[in-house]
Amino acid sequence: MPRRIETVVLHDSTTPIIGDVQKGGNVILTTVDSLLAQARANSLWPLTFGLACCAIEMMSASAARFDLARFGSEAFRASPRQADVMIIAGRLSKKMAPVLRQIYDQMPEPKWVISMGACASSGGVYNNYAIVQGADQVVPVDVYVPGCPPSPDALIYGIMKLQEKIKKESGRYKIIELNPRTNEEVTV
Ligand code: SF4
């Protein structure tokens, strides 16, 4: 059970308490933020964005042997509108960089980025004029997965790390009410 969720057992004087077992109802107290974070973290939909050899390992991660579906992330989407995590799998050329940025911008908030492999994270063996020396020069990266290529297990571990991060940042987003006339935040 996540740390943020507390279980409170309601009882009155007529409810006998026997060890850890109590008669009566269980009430789970949590915040909407925490529930949203749990839902988001456990149903990440990656954007199909294979750029080079690392993409083969990314595809393997969703196949039967590694079964990314166990972590709720097997639904790779071809449209940025339907994805919330971009996995940059492979070297990023300078020609491709503006395209990557545009696709990132088209993804709805909240969104995250995983940089998969040495090339995406730092240029790798391609220390030359044609390759961006780190995808974080173009988009904000949340998790770096090292290796050349990283194994499917390594990518899954990176996704698990991203899930931990999403659960921790549950307070990052808040629901606010706006005054329709002034567009200012309403104090409740
Ligand atoms: S890190 Fe290795 S496997 Fe991945 S794109 Fe670069 S050269 Fe290919």
**Ligand 1 lined by 131 (C-beta under 6 Å):** no
* Global pTM value: 0.77
Query: Each residue of 115-130: pLDDT tens digit?
Result: 999 999 999 999 999 9
Crossing angle (nearest 10°) for helices 54-61 and 152-168: 70
CA of 179 to the centre of ligand 1 (A): 51
Which residue's entry shows tokens 């639904």? 75
Checking if the pLDDT of 155 tops 90, the result is yes
Residue 133 to residue 159: CA distance in whole angstroms: 23
Which amino acid would we find at residue 144?
Y
Contact call for residues 64 and 27 (beta carbons, < 8 A): no
Strand partners, 85: 46, 112
CA of 110 to the centre of ligand 1 (A): 28
Tell me, what's the pLDDT at 34? 82
**Ligand 1 lined by 118 (C-beta under 6 Å):** yes
Q: Average pLDDT for residues 42-61, to the nearest whole number?
A: 92
Buried b (16+ CB within 10 A) or exposed e, 35-69: eebbebbeebebbbbbbbebbebbebbbeeebebe
**Ligand 1 lined by 150 (C-beta under 6 Å):** no
CA of 102 to the centre of ligand 1 (A): 23
**Ligand 1 lined by 46 (C-beta under 6 Å):** no
The residue contributing the CA closest to ligand 1 atom 5 is 90
CA of 129 to the centre of ligand 1 (A): 17
Query: Each residue of 21-46: pLDDT tens digit?
Result: 555 556 667 778 888 888 889 999 99
**Ligand 1 lined by 96 (C-beta under 6 Å):** no
Which residue's entry shows tokens 């503006």? 98
Contact call for residues 75 and 171 (beta carbons, < 8 A): no
Residue 65: left (phi > 0), alpha (psi -120 to 50), or beta?
A: alpha
